[in-house]
Structure 1
């Protein structure tokens, strides 16, 4: 299938702040000539570590599952446990709905939140995506620049966010002249086309009811996702009904761990080390993790290497603001299966 982009990314230019210091004072002796030492570049934060402790954290949007409106960060503790009381790092809004104003936790209602190095630096940032069904910004997105210490993001400041225009993630199928709609979901695919900025994986469809896995390469730039490709990949059960699946990803030492869940059947798969090939398809190792994972239930998936063992894991957030870590182990390439172990449920107290 040939695809072409109907509209290009509209990324808000960042305001660059310049800080100058002037030292003055009487000098008795002539000053020494000193060559300043070059500061070492900080190591990139590990995937989903938003508070700087080198452990993955749980980040979830409020307004559902009993969570108050906001962008809730619960610090991870390496064994599946999280901080009892999360922090609303989105208390100042997303920077777009209330320009210049430090307010708007409801800006994240109905949004999907994805962590990654989306601003191109060492810190973990947040891609806030609004699916086509969103009432205020359908198909649009915002990149919130991470603080590195888990503090509230001051989105009223231009340098704290970058806007991505609605329509950036849509395109055209030139074979049948149908629009490829903005995706229903977006997740982090890891940095492949750029050395810094992550690509994205999505699930999208056309008005004829067809749905498919999509890929958005970033060739270098904040919000530079104007390269849409449809991946000729079938679902884990061999179908084309991608609209019945939900996805989540974690970045591990070996690559991208892509989790795929079909709510109606309870099927849960891990496509480990997922990567788009030069031929335009995808390579991965597939593992069945469960035949009855929250069958028919409304839960949100968040993927991360929760226990820092090099294998992607899951958090689920469901009714009553209950969060559960699911640790993945014993991946067997012979049987294409893995073990999924639930940790004790924890309540996300956002009252």
Structure 2
């Protein structure tokens, strides 16, 4: 069930670190005029390469992309990355691979991209990043849509990666999102935190959310799933036990947001989300980052490495500036829940 939403841009006051978290489906078309990558039943993808205009030096770069799963936020990061390459005018071929949320498939695709001897690999979401980082210590690997690369053992530190991995973090403004929940639902007493226990990035956000919820004088209760098949059952189990639901930038939950919103909205449970795509899929509201811009920032890093010879081991993990954070409200969902969101405009 997909809801239409009205996006309201809001500049964040002050600087803050931003925040979201494998072969069975077709990857999104992320290069202008390029064919999409197709995959086989054996979950190994044939390379479908697309070529950008040639640069003055005539050098052509091979770029591999491993995206964990297809959903709005990760798709946007992918598109932003490719656009940055195109805007830089470099000559490249890109092999788009999507692991369809299957972590073992991430390993298979990661090995393929390394064996193809790509010049650079982009890994989108934490499980994809961990698979690629574990498959090579030589090829430059950029990650995006990863909450905390250091805590996920991808780099020595976010300030000084020290190896062949760097990229961008999607650390979401969890505290501000919980403040938004309290503003919309001032009488809320108990908040359920829904996330996938298999995603390390989600565990980090869940801990941050619990602290923020308790700081607002509410009680936090964890509700976890191990895979998408458990979402409906777990959300249904919250009925009558929570006043609201918080879902961080969790890939499993984001991909299954239609199910989350269906059950939650039917039972009068408002859902505050980690990112815009989840709101568009039926959540109530979020205060989060622009994933297209995050991908674009990662693409600019790739240009520095490929074109300018930048040393990835000395390239810090980057974060979007505060003005890329925006408020998104699904007014249709608000009507279903009987919640007045006019004061948020």
Question: Shorter-chain TM-score: which interval?
Answer: under 0.3
Q: Which has the higher strand share?
A: 1
- Which is richer in helix? 2
Q: Which has the higher contact order (CA 8 A, sep 6+)?
A: 2
TM, length-normalised to structure 2: 0.26
TM-score, length-normalised on structure 1? 0.25
Which of these two proteins has the greater Rg computed from alpha carbons?
1
